[in-house]
Structure 1
Amino acid sequence: MPQTSKPVAIIIPARYGSSRFVGKPLAMITGRTMINRVWSLARAVSGVNEVCVATDDERIAEHVRSFGGDVVITPKKCTNGTERVLRAAGMLATRPAVVINLQGDAVLTPPWVIAALIDEMRRDPTVEIATAAVRMDKRSYEALRAAKGQGEVGGTTVTFDRRGNALYFSKSVIPFVRDDEQGIGSDRLPVFRHIGLYAHAYETLCRYVNLEPGPLEGSEKLEQLRALEHGIPVRVVEVDYGGRTHWAVDSPDDLKRVETIISEEGDLVGA
């Protein structure tokens, strides 16, 4: 079967009972709920066969149906978003060959970034998992390094080989950059910030959720390290946000920041 004909599903995991932000998917952002905004981004991606929200909460399901979205009700016992996405993928009428896990709080993810992962999965049939990363400039690098120095946990960086396969993901800023002509004075730092967006081959996703977490995942608290520890390559796709700001919603305080970004930069897609 040609790669271009592989069915693709974007699945958006959404929980109501988040310990850090209860009811987050239904939080309002400039007149629309978070889950409605993320669903609209997914719907704007070309070449996708199905978009659905995977949730275990009827309040979220009812709201998604109200704006015409598709919902899959998944078991409450799902331990994380990845498992919830797999359960939902297996319940679709047409089983997808490629599954995009688009987090329910990824309200500022440009559709072309999602499309870049789909394109890579179709271009190279050997890719089992693909994820995205943005090259950091000197300003963003220094800001992230300063934040890490103050004890902040947020922000993951990734290194990869010449084929684009990940070598390592870390909450530390990697690689270490020396202050010389090849380092922070350069216009093209070899430092990439990871974007928590994943494309999985369906069969690989089935394998992945049954793998035992390893010591690296346990130390960094990064699920993607499980794949590397078990020898599953992760293709890193360099993407360009086109001047747009990347920001995730982890707490109620983040809502104000996201609303400010939307006010300054405009909506990525319409309602």
Structure 2
Amino acid sequence: MTFESKEKQVLPLAVNSLGQPTVVIVIPARYGSTRLPGKPLADIAGKSMVQHVYERACEVQGVHAVVVATDDERVATAVHDFGGRSVMTSAEHPSGTDRLAEVMAQLPADIYVNLQGDEPLVRPGDVQRLVDGMLADAAVSVGTLCHPIDSQEAQSPNTVKLVVADNGDALYFSRSPIPYPRDKEHVSYLKHVGVYAYRREVLQTYAQLPQPMAEKAEKLEQLRLLAAGLRIRAFEVEPTGPGVDTLECLEQVRALMMGTISAFEQKQPSLADVRLVIPDVDGVLTDGGLFYDATGEALKRFHVRDGLGMRLLEESGVRVAVLSGRDSPVLRKRVADLGLSFCLLGVKDKAAACQALMQQAGVTAAQTACLGDDSIDLPAFAVCGLSYAVPDAPQYVRAAATATLSTPGGYGAFRELADAILSAQGQEDVVASASGYSRLMSQMAQ
């Protein structure tokens, strides 16, 4: 069966006057999506999804053609109606790369960019970075994109991770979190963004490449290219917006493009992001009771497990800053014993104090969690990305917090949160195993 473009012909592309390779962006757009049938034609802010992708692709400089590759006349007609260019392809292709190889037979070029048709939030600048990178280094056979993610997202098998060499070449792709933090040290993760650029000769030989064991196990076709010794250069970009896989994803993208939700609302702060924890003292690190000695000095009862939780966080790369509306020699002695370098004591404006501590620690509000128990802590709740109340706090304080802990102040409330943070950041063995604890803590104060 012969497939023809919607325009009935495909015009040859000419190399420009500077002799640079010709570049074509191909947008695969299958109508029969299993989870969201008719996905390319889904309306988003008055345009079909495929039109949004097409228009963004047209903003990329140095590209000689943009074409939608589809297996359905309804998509081809829609593309034609908004003035775009389409190519009909077979519905039997096992992968997107195979579909691209069919387009190559109809549309000759030197470099083909595979831009998914379900990414209406794609940034033209990211695709530009990919195209420019391929044009700059003829030794790169395949190019793709990646961006940093937190350890929580790295745990999902639906998120493909990669490890790169110093020059940006991909060493491996996996659904598992890579690299594996054997010693539970802080590691950084990169997420693979499924935008590819191929040189023509790669597509010509792809179908003949054997399918390696790794590809069969991971269900990742790019591993076939690595196994064949081809270089895949990964260009790092800023975190990308969500694609459209399900109806829920579609509604989220619609809301983002219509401006009814912000990027902050799209991804709320999480414990996996926390880099600074700010606890109140009275009622959180203590039970709130005050005892006076014969000299009139106020004595406080601290819990040893809270102290250990602080050291565990500090040694794991999460800073702890004690904040209190009171000041006393006893409190200063406790802070010194714990080896904490951040503290503000005797403050009344806790919002300003939290912001000062964030600046001092070099973190954002989204990376900060605070703990409180009374009205004086509400301003801190308002400026920190995450806030936690102890269970015996007044109802209105608990209502203002992100969540309420189960452990009362003075009885290990801080340790409960510290354990939750370590778990969210993939370091639960620090508190749950002898080997993990021994590895991290050689000296400590409790």
- Residue aligning to 1:153: 157
Question: Residues of 2 paired with 1:106 and 1:209: CA distance?
Answer: 26
Q: Is the deviation greater in 54-63 or in 251-260? A: 251-260
Question: Residues of 2 paired with 1:198 and 1:4: CA distance?
Answer: 23
- Residue aligning to 1:65: 80
Q: 2:90 aligns with which of 56, 75, 88?
A: 75
Please report how far the alpha carbon of residue 12 of structure 1 lies from its aligned counterpart in structure 2 after TM superposition.
Answer: 0.5
Correspondence 1:123 to 2:136:
yes
Q: Is the deviation greater in 72-81 or in 102-111? A: 72-81
- Residue aligning to 2:153: 144
What amino acid is aligned across from residue 168 of structure 1 in structure 2? Y
Instruction: Spell out, residue by residue over 1:151-188, the C-alpha distance to the aligned partner (whole angstroms, 9 max, x if none).
Output: x43211110111211111011121124554xx25xxxx
Q: With structure 2 as the length reference, what TM-score do the two structures score?
A: 0.52
Identical columns (%): 37
Please report how far the alpha carbon of residue 3 of structure 1 lies from its aligned counterpart in structure 2 after TM superposition.
Answer: 8.4
Please report how far the alpha carbon of residue 143 of structure 1 lies from its aligned counterpart in structure 2 after TM superposition.
Answer: 3.0
Tell me the matched-pair count: 245
- Residue aligning to 1:173: 177
Q: 2:195 aligns with which of 194, 197, 200?
A: 197
Please report how far the alpha carbon of residue 76 of structure 1 lies from its aligned counterpart in structure 2 after TM superposition.
Answer: 2.8
What amino acid is aligned across from residue 167 of structure 1 in structure 2? L
Q: Is the deviation greater in 82-91 or in 63-72? A: 82-91
Instruction: Spell out, residue by residue over 1:89-133, the C-alpha distance to the aligned partner (whole angstroms, 9 max, x if none).
Output: 2202xx110000001111121001111111111111111000111
In the alignment, is the contact (CA less than 8 A) between 2:141 and 2:198 conserved in 1?
yes
Structure 1 residues 197-236: aligned runs within 5 Å: 197-236=195-234
What amino acid is aligned across from residue 165 of structure 2 in structure 1? D
RMSD: 2.0
Correspondence 1:103 to 2:98:
no
- With over 3 angstroms needed to count, the CA separation of the structure-2 counterparts of 1:3 and 1:192, relative to structure 1, is farther
Question: Residues of 1 paired with 2:174 and 2:72: CA distance?
Answer: 32
1:76 alignment partner, SS class:
coil
- Residue aligning to 1:256: 251
What amino acid is aligned across from residue 11 of structure 1 in structure 2? V
1:52 alignment partner, SS class:
strand
- With over 3 angstroms needed to count, the CA separation of the structure-2 counterparts of 1:213 and 1:20, relative to structure 1, is farther
Please report how far the alpha carbon of residue 265 of structure 1 lies from its aligned counterpart in structure 2 after TM superposition.
Answer: 5.6
Please report how far the alpha carbon of residue 260 of structure 1 lies from its aligned counterpart in structure 2 after TM superposition.
Answer: 2.4
Q: Which runs of 5+ in 2 are unaligned?
A: 1-14, 264-446
Instruction: Spell out, residue by residue over 1:204-249, the C-alpha distance to the aligned partner (whole angstroms, 9 max, x if none).
Output: 11212332221111111111111111211111111235xxx42111
Question: Residues of 2 paired with 1:112 and 1:54: CA distance?
Answer: 22
Correspondence 1:238 to 2:236:
yes
What amino acid is aligned across from residue 109 of structure 1 in structure 2? V
- With over 3 angstroms needed to count, the CA separation of the structure-2 counterparts of 1:3 and 1:213, relative to structure 1, is farther
In the alignment, is the contact (CA less than 8 A) between 2:100 and 2:203 conserved in 1?
no
Structure 1 residues 83-98: aligned runs within 5 Å: 83-92=98-107, 95-98=108-111
Question: Residues of 2 paired with 1:47 and 1:226: CA distance?
Answer: 29
Please report how far the alpha carbon of residue 49 of structure 1 lies from its aligned counterpart in structure 2 after TM superposition.
Answer: 0.2
- Residue aligning to 2:311: none
- With over 3 angstroms needed to count, the CA separation of the structure-2 counterparts of 1:209 and 1:108, relative to structure 1, is farther
Q: Is the deviation greater in 108-117 or in 17-26? A: 17-26
1:103 alignment partner, SS class:
coil
Please report how far the alpha carbon of residue 251 of structure 1 lies from its aligned counterpart in structure 2 after TM superposition.
Answer: 1.2
In the alignment, is the contact (CA less than 8 A) between 2:71 and 2:88 conserved in 1?
yes
Please report how far the alpha carbon of residue 4 of structure 1 lies from its aligned counterpart in structure 2 after TM superposition.
Answer: 6.5
1:5 alignment partner, SS class:
coil
What amino acid is aligned across from residue 209 of structure 2 in structure 1? L
1:96 alignment partner, SS class:
coil
In the alignment, is the contact (CA less than 8 A) between 1:3 and 1:123 conserved in 2?
no
1:65 alignment partner, SS class:
helix
2:26 alignment partner, SS class:
strand
Question: Residues of 2 paired with 1:160 and 1:172: CA distance?
Answer: 15
Instruction: Spell out, residue by residue over 1:51-88, the C-alpha distance to the aligned partner (whole angstroms, 9 max, x if none).
Output: 00011210000000000000111123322222112211
Question: Residues of 2 paired with 1:121 and 1:143: CA distance?
Answer: 32
1:168 alignment partner, SS class:
strand
Q: Which runs of 5+ in 1 are unaligned?
A: 267-271
Please report how far the alpha carbon of residue 10 of structure 1 lies from its aligned counterpart in structure 2 after TM superposition.
Answer: 0.1
- Residue aligning to 1:269: none
In the alignment, is the contact (CA less than 8 A) between 1:11 and 1:89 conserved in 2?
no
Question: Bigger relative contact order, structure 1 or 2, given CA contacts below 8 A and separation 6+?
Answer: 1
Please report how far the alpha carbon of residue 198 of structure 1 lies from its aligned counterpart in structure 2 after TM superposition.
Answer: 0.2
What amino acid is aligned across from residue 72 of structure 2 in structure 1? D
Question: Residues of 2 paired with 1:4 and 1:260: CA distance?
Answer: 44
In the alignment, is the contact (CA less than 8 A) between 1:9 and 1:50 conserved in 2?
yes
